[in-house]
Chains A and B, each alone.
Chain A
Amino acid sequence: QVQLAESGGGLVKPGGSLRLSCAASGFTFSDYYMNWIRQAPGKGLEWLSYISFTGNTIYYADSVKGRFTISRDNAKNSLYLQMNSLRAEDTAVYYCARGGQGGGWFDPWGRGTLVTVSS
């Protein structure tokens, strides 16, 4: 059964840092590109970052470029998001999602982890 499970969310002060993890199971992790997507409370979906199979190709949304870093460890079947210089507007549920084979869809998604940036 294909599963993704995020962890690492919590309450952090503005300017602080947090590292999210996404544990993958039920599929060959190294065969898929991966993404982070977030959803602010009561708002829509915002794609944040993409990482290719080996990590050689990485993309970011402008809203997090220079502050967030995506990475992966294929030996550990894990995806990460290092978040620095956090702002109140980064408050959201953060989802990891597997990329589609042959196309740019997201399936499946994890359940998400809540990040709250507040003093």
Chain B
Amino acid sequence: DIQMTQSPSSLSASLGDRVTITCQASQDIGNYLNWYQQRPGKAPNLLIYDASNLQRGVPSRFSGSGSGTDFTLTISSLQPEDIATYYCQHYDNLPPITFGQGTRLDIK
């Protein structure tokens, strides 16, 4: 099974900061990597699909990059509503589909 490792596990940043979260796959997954945001008490919401494509309706301050085994989610300027846990997810060579363990983001 393909393992997904996110870092950091938690992160504190100031409003307006540029925030970067990384996700590493245990083997090459091409660009089969998606990112989700989960606000407290809510269901996850798709942000980025296929590594770098912004889902419709998602603010442009979110961006994704990477391919192969190393991927990055970037928030260009942190806003209060971005406080959430972020998950990466692969879908190469399924089953199974696996998620990273999550990165909890809060305000410093």
Q: What residues make up the interface of A, taking CB atoms closer than 8 Å to B?
A: 35, 44-47, 50, 59-62, 95, 100, 103-112
Contacts and interface: CB of A to CB of B under 8 A. Distances in A.
A106 B46 contact: yes
B59 interface: no
Contacts, number: 69
Contacts of B42: 111
B98 interface: yes
Nearest to A99: B91
A104 B44 contact: no
B90 to A, nearest CB: 8
Contact of B87 (A44, A108, A111): A44
B94 A50 contact: yes
Nearest to B56: A107
B43 A45 contact: no
A58 to B, nearest CB: 10
A62 B96 contact: yes
Contact of A46 (B34, B38, B43, B99): B99
A112 B96 contact: no
A46 B45 CA distance: 15
A100 B87 contact: no
Given A105-B91, A106-B89, A109-B43, 4 more contacts: A44-B99, A100-B49, A110-B43, A112-B43
B82 interface: no
A50 B43 contact: no
Contacts of B38: 45
B55 interface: yes
A67 to B, nearest CB: 15
